[in-house]
Structure 1
Amino acid sequence: MDNLLPNLLSFPPHPPRPTPMSDYLYDQGIRDQIDFVKKLADSKLLQQTSGGEDVLDVINPALNTVPYTFILLANLSALKKGTKGVDMDKIWGKMTTFLGTFDPRQIRYLGEQLSTIMEAVANIAVANRQPWMALAPIRDALLRLDPTGSMLTTHHLALVKLALESRSYKAIVPVIEKFILYFPGITNQPKPKYICDMSINPVQFITPTSGLTQKFKYQEVLEYFLYSGMVFIGLSNWEGALQCLENAVAYPAKEGSVSKIMAEAYKKWILVGLLHEGRLLSLPRSTSANAAKQYHTLAKPYETLAQIFENGTASRLKAEADQGVSVWQNDCNTGLVLHVLAAYQKFQIRNLANIYSKISIPEIVSQTMSAETGNKLPSPQAGEKLVQDMINQGELHATMSSSPGQPSVVTFAVSGPVLTEPEMQNELAAATERIHALTKEIKQTDRMLTHDKDYIKYVQKQKKNAKQGSLGDQGISGADMEWGDAIEDEDIMGSLY
């Protein structure tokens, strides 16, 4: 191994040259190194140094990602074969450390190898009945590969499945909270001259060809959005859940048809909308008329429940929930419905802020009702506990005060929670950063649409229909036509392959 180390560590040059390498020289250098390492037998890569050290303890994965990757894979292969001297715990530690430290530039040339390591981490964790152990390493690898998080990969889907299987949700939030803008295999993308160019868009180097992802099936994209929404539901993050579920609900489908996954997402979307906003939300504007009709039919019990939540009484809401028990159970939405019943009185209490600036606890108890029981709370003490819990959890912007011998009084905050100056500065800085990031991505997607054959076809049909004033005998105006309606059936998933 001592004889091999100089060649294994020859790229990138260390210490770095005074003048950064051009993309051309970098591309040449890393390809030559990969060719050299690939020709080495596993037996050579598994050799120890003359001092008896494991070479994985010698090479820095953040600096020399290429040789470290292939040596790690050689160890994995030996582990599968049951080779003596290969320790499972040590290899696990090396893999998880690697996924959080590899060089993002070098790894672009090692797509298949990175995918193999990520899959091995997931498989080992599942085999040991500890799927949660794979979450942080895979999360770190995805964000290291693409800090924008805008490119969906098959590893994203595997990650959310692991989270749901292990019921460990918080670890993957940094991944699923990112806005997905691109899918594997998007057509009409210019091929980058050098994938080491750090200014190129992730859609140009994270491709099925590069091995950093596989192709997506239509239903797998929907699964990712549905499962991400379920993860946010598990965290009671209703806003995040709404966004993910809406992505599934509004996803384009041929002839405006609604798949089983989309219907499942819509049912959950209705319930989460109640928990977040206290009302039945309107379908996204991009939803076609045919899809909307199907949604209303398939989710009628949910829409009825939502309408009662918004305009009915607590007893009616409880009765409707009780009547639909089998529906909620079959759809695995019983937990969400119970949350909805618990939220009914909380929204009533919050709405009192529109009428009162101050109100006593006994008055709150008399003016609101619990949908969990269909009755008023049993005592002022129960009302005080509910209000205090809401204040503590940030669900009610108010303060509660009490005087000896007098009932507690709730004072509503007029303008919501009061932020300190540092908190306000942090909020503004975060908002500014998000706006800059989204502006950059919007410009990129605009450029992509300019050359997308399906979008061009849609625009042409819009212009043609605008001149005609209608679409034949259907009585549909050109302005009402959806982009998805303009795409041929076989092209619905064209942008994904």
Structure 2
Amino acid sequence: MDKILEDSGALTPALLLADEGQFEQKALDLLSKLSKLSAQDFDARDQLDALQPSTHTITFLYLLTVSIDTSAASGKAAPRQLPSSVLPEGSLWPYITQILLDFDFIQVRYCGTQLLRIIDIVTLGAEQTSNYIPAIQLLHQVILRLDSTSSILTSTHRAFIRLCLLAEAYTEAILILDQPIYHIPTVLDNRSKSYLCSSGDQNSTYLNPATGLTQPITVRIFLEYYLLGALSYLAVRRYKDALFFLEIVLSTPTAQNAVSMLQIEAYRKWTLLSLILKGSIPESPKNISQGVLKYLKALAKPYDCIVEAFVSNDIEKLRTEIEAGSALWQEDGNYGLMVEVYQAFRKFTVIRLGRTFSALPLVAVANKMLADEQDLTETRAYLDSLIAERALHAVVVNSDDGDQILRFLPPSVSLMNESEVDTALSTQTLRLQLLLKHIQDSEHRMETTKEYIEYLKKLKKARDDDKKVSGSGNGRTTTVDDVDEDMMEEF
């Protein structure tokens, strides 16, 4: 054990800077030695007390998993339950907290399986005890320590968002959800010829199933992340973001047009959100399969009936449809959205008036909204709220005879002040710069794939053949499209 501790201490930043190859070899040798030890060879708990997780990440994680196995083997936990030692306030919890907060992000690339196991234990423990907050805080730190931009989707993301929903910790969830996902890891990502400890590689080189730092991202994990993310945005009334996440769920390719229950749930909420935000028949996401869309419509027919009632401009018909399906909306967890659909009908009634009139007395507006024409206080307050939310591009003014007038403004008139415009432009600029960076990274990964290299070889051969043909003065020139078509025939 002393030799192992010595080898563990040799994995220093200085060695990494001086010789990446030697660092990697020492890390692999250390893993080999640790895997040959049994729990009887040492007292893992005592060794953990003597180690700093930030400098001995590999050894610390290995000893911690041995301690967990020993605790589980004691038989004190109920069947299918984690032992109390790994739960908050348990004897091993301080060590779990230490490693998740302080692991070295280079060494952890060599022991991703052990780290992911600790993450799974923390997640299961939170659900077992319904004590979610400690786990949420730890997983949040893990995600950002592995990838400071949180731009690579991992299985930890899904676990984190799920716990946030269970705890109703929507603000914490959105801190991660607001970070755009640019890459879905696969086992093929680990193609770099450099060392795993290299600091020059992209995060996707090591943050993938090959290193064990994430489970393989299956279609279900992908759909769950975006559906749970949409629910988080719904909880804080960020409906545009929720709609975008739901469209990703609907647009995800499926085998032989099979429809997932997650997509059915997404379709129901997407339909209602489209009415709330746009007030019209929802436009299907461009990338959705027509076969999938057909099945979704058939399985969510009552929701399409609501759409038909909404666009009919008949508020009584809409009210009847909503009341008739009250039990179904509650069973689906969509009753709250259905109430907002009814309220949105009122909003879009006012907005549609602007397409016909440039101005209207508030009395006429109240009549269209089926509000009290004798007391315009509620109507004025409602219109002011729409204007404040930027949902209605208009102002309320007083006429010369004292009547209140709703005057619709042309699109060229902006209600944003100069500072708001500057902030919006700066935010958009930063987003575009980040997007361009990730596009360049994606192009670099594509250029190193076997398929792209084979494509270049075929293109070069085609051009060489063209030169021979053109030299003889006969024949047709081969184009890039010809090579692309030839490659597609191979699949």
**Higher alpha-carbon deviation: 287-296 or 32-41:** 32-41
Q: Is residue 26 of structure 2 the alignment partner of residue 26 of structure 1?
A: no
- Structure 2 counterpart of 1:272: 273
Distance in 2 separating the partners of 1:93 and 1:379: 64
Distance in 1 separating the partners of 2:389 and 2:346: 15
> For residues 449 and 9 of structure 1, do their structure 2 counterparts lie closer, same or farther at Cα, with a shift above 3 Å needed?
closer
- Structure 2 counterpart of 1:250: 251
> For residues 308 and 23 of structure 1, do their structure 2 counterparts lie closer, same or farther at Cα, with a shift above 3 Å needed?
farther
Identity, % of aligned pairs? 25
- Structure 1 counterpart of 2:231: 230
1:336: Cα distance to partner?
1.7
The amino acid that maps onto 2:378 is A
- Structure 1 counterpart of 2:434: 437
Contact 1:12/1:30 (8 A) holds in 2: no
The amino acid that maps onto 2:236 is L
Q: Is residue 154 of structure 2 the alignment partner of residue 153 of structure 1?
A: yes
1:253: Cα distance to partner?
2.0
- Structure 1 counterpart of 2:191: 190
> For residues 188 and 153 of structure 1, do their structure 2 counterparts lie closer, same or farther at Cα, with a shift above 3 Å needed?
closer
Contact 1:146/1:202 (8 A) holds in 2: yes
Distance in 2 separating the partners of 1:21 and 1:357: 73
Contact 2:11/2:23 (8 A) holds in 1: no
- Once the two structures are superposed, residues 32-79 of structure 1 have per-residue CA deviations (whole angstroms, 9 ceiling, x without a partner) of 444455566664442279xxxx436xx2x4454334434544554565
Distance in 2 separating the partners of 1:361 and 1:426: 34
> For residues 151 and 331 of structure 1, do their structure 2 counterparts lie closer, same or farther at Cα, with a shift above 3 Å needed?
same
Distance in 1 separating the partners of 2:373 and 2:243: 30
1:193: Cα distance to partner?
3.1
1:316: Cα distance to partner?
2.3
> For residues 383 and 271 of structure 1, do their structure 2 counterparts lie closer, same or farther at Cα, with a shift above 3 Å needed?
same
TM-score, with length taken from structure 1:
0.73
> For residues 124 and 383 of structure 1, do their structure 2 counterparts lie closer, same or farther at Cα, with a shift above 3 Å needed?
same
1:380: Cα distance to partner?
2.7
Contact 2:85/2:92 (8 A) holds in 1: no
Contact 1:309/1:344 (8 A) holds in 2: yes
Partner of 1:282: helix, strand, or coil?
coil
Q: Is residue 285 of structure 2 the alignment partner of residue 302 of structure 1?
A: no
1:115: Cα distance to partner?
0.7
- Structure 2 counterpart of 1:418: 416
Contact 1:226/1:245 (8 A) holds in 2: yes
TM-score, with length taken from structure 2:
0.74
> For residues 417 and 136 of structure 1, do their structure 2 counterparts lie closer, same or farther at Cα, with a shift above 3 Å needed?
farther
Gaps of 5+ in 1: 370-374, 458-485, 492-497
Equivalent residues in 2 for 1:59-138, closer than 5 Å: 59=52, 61-74=53-66, 76-77=68-69, 80=72, 81=74, 88-89=88-89, 91-96=92-97, 98-138=99-139
Contact 1:136/1:172 (8 A) holds in 2: no
> For residues 437 and 105 of structure 1, do their structure 2 counterparts lie closer, same or farther at Cα, with a shift above 3 Å needed?
farther
> For residues 289 and 391 of structure 1, do their structure 2 counterparts lie closer, same or farther at Cα, with a shift above 3 Å needed?
closer
Q: CA RMSD in A?
A: 4.3
- Structure 2 counterpart of 1:460: none
Distance in 2 separating the partners of 1:255 and 1:448: 29
The amino acid that maps onto 2:234 is I
- Structure 1 counterpart of 2:382: 386
Distance in 1 separating the partners of 2:70 and 2:421: 54
1:201: Cα distance to partner?
3.8
Contact 2:34/2:62 (8 A) holds in 1: yes
Contact 2:150/2:176 (8 A) holds in 1: yes
The amino acid that maps onto 1:431 is Q
Contact 1:187/1:452 (8 A) holds in 2: no
> For residues 129 and 287 of structure 1, do their structure 2 counterparts lie closer, same or farther at Cα, with a shift above 3 Å needed?
closer
**Structure with larger Rg:** 2
- Structure 1 counterpart of 2:11: 11
Contact 2:229/2:242 (8 A) holds in 1: yes
> For residues 11 and 447 of structure 1, do their structure 2 counterparts lie closer, same or farther at Cα, with a shift above 3 Å needed?
closer
The amino acid that maps onto 1:24 is G
**Higher alpha-carbon deviation: 275-284 or 39-48:** 39-48
1:192: Cα distance to partner?
4.4
Q: Is residue 55 of structure 2 the alignment partner of residue 55 of structure 1?
A: no
More relative contact order, 1 or 2 (CA 8 Å, 6+ apart): 1
Distance in 2 separating the partners of 1:85 and 1:124: 10
Contact 1:92/1:121 (8 A) holds in 2: no
**Higher alpha-carbon deviation: 81-90 or 411-420:** 81-90
Gaps of 5+ in 2: 77-82, 456-487
User: How many residues were matched structurally?
Assistant: 443
Contact 1:309/1:317 (8 A) holds in 2: yes
Contact 1:69/1:113 (8 A) holds in 2: yes
Q: Is residue 163 of structure 2 the alignment partner of residue 162 of structure 1?
A: yes
> For residues 487 and 309 of structure 1, do their structure 2 counterparts lie closer, same or farther at Cα, with a shift above 3 Å needed?
farther
1:194: Cα distance to partner?
1.6
> For residues 199 and 363 of structure 1, do their structure 2 counterparts lie closer, same or farther at Cα, with a shift above 3 Å needed?
farther
Distance in 2 separating the partners of 1:91 and 1:419: 55
- Structure 1 counterpart of 2:45: 46
Distance in 1 separating the partners of 2:198 and 2:50: 30
Partner of 1:291: helix, strand, or coil?
helix
1:309: Cα distance to partner?
2.5
Distance in 1 separating the partners of 2:26 and 2:207: 21
Partner of 2:220: helix, strand, or coil?
helix
1:112: Cα distance to partner?
1.0
1:409: Cα distance to partner?
6.9
The amino acid that maps onto 1:441 is H
- Once the two structures are superposed, residues 304-347 of structure 1 have per-residue CA deviations (whole angstroms, 9 ceiling, x without a partner) of 32243345132222222223334434433222212211222233
> For residues 278 and 196 of structure 1, do their structure 2 counterparts lie closer, same or farther at Cα, with a shift above 3 Å needed?
farther
- Once the two structures are superposed, residues 96-150 of structure 1 have per-residue CA deviations (whole angstroms, 9 ceiling, x without a partner) of 4543443322222221111112112112222221234422321321232123434
1:249: Cα distance to partner?
0.9
In terms of fraction of residues, the more helix-rich structure is 2
> For residues 377 and 231 of structure 1, do their structure 2 counterparts lie closer, same or farther at Cα, with a shift above 3 Å needed?
farther
- Once the two structures are superposed, residues 336-373 of structure 1 have per-residue CA deviations (whole angstroms, 9 ceiling, x without a partner) of 2122112222333455566778777555433324xxxx
Distance in 2 separating the partners of 1:487 and 1:178: 38
Distance in 1 separating the partners of 2:171 and 2:298: 35
Distance in 1 separating the partners of 2:147 and 2:127: 25
Partner of 1:104: helix, strand, or coil?
coil
**Higher alpha-carbon deviation: 150-159 or 177-186:** 177-186
> For residues 263 and 40 of structure 1, do their structure 2 counterparts lie closer, same or farther at Cα, with a shift above 3 Å needed?
same
